[in-house]
Amino acid sequence: NAGVTQTPKFRVLKTGQSMTLLCAQDMNHEYMYWYRQDPGMGLRLIHYSVGEGTTAKGEVPDGYNVSRLKKQNFLLGLESAAPSQTSVYFCASSEDRGLRQPQHFGDGTRLSIL
């Protein structure tokens, strides 16, 4: 009964370091999304994918890259971390665009950039 699983749950990085956040879903969903959540800002879409091998930019894509090599996994990369990327990152998946079925979220990754 895993649903959407994000790893790691917490991470502290130094400015300039790189890292990859992993999102895995076991519901065979086509659509996957990466959001960031900052205090007072709500959830903002970083990148999304409409199927294996596809990615697209969301509202705040700068400084991030993504890959969807397998249907069940969606990776979010930070090539050179900046303090402005300190945030809580959520991955979500859905059966369709979210127009008829809701998006299901993981528990989040809390990332601090020093």
Partner 1 sequence: EDKVVQSPLSLVVHEGDTVTLNCSYEVTNFRSLLWYKQEKKAPTFLFMLTSSGIEKKSGRLSSILDKKELSSILNITATQTGDSAIYLCAVSGAGSYQLTFGKGTKLSVIP
Q: Which residues bind partner 1 (CB under 8 A)?
A: 4, 31, 35, 40-45, 48, 50, 56, 58-59, 90, 97-100, 102-108
**Shortest distance, position 23 Cβ to partner 1, whole Å:** 12
Q: Rounded to whole angstroms, how far apart are CA atoms 52 and 30?
A: 7
* Residue 1 or 40 with smaller CB distance to partner 1: 40
Q: Which is nearer to partner 1, 44 or 71 (CB)?
A: 44
Contacts of 35 (CB under 8 A, 6+ apart): 43, 44, 45, 46, 89, 90, 91, 92
Q: How far apart are CA 102 and CA 69, in angstroms?
A: 23
Instruction: Return the number of the residue (17 or 108) whose C-beta is nearest partner 1.
Output: 108
Q: Find the shortest distance in angstroms from Cβ 106 to partner 1.
A: 6
- Three-state SS for 88? strand
Alpha helices in the chain (DSSP H): none
**Least distance from partner 1 to the Cβ atom of residue 31, Å:** 7
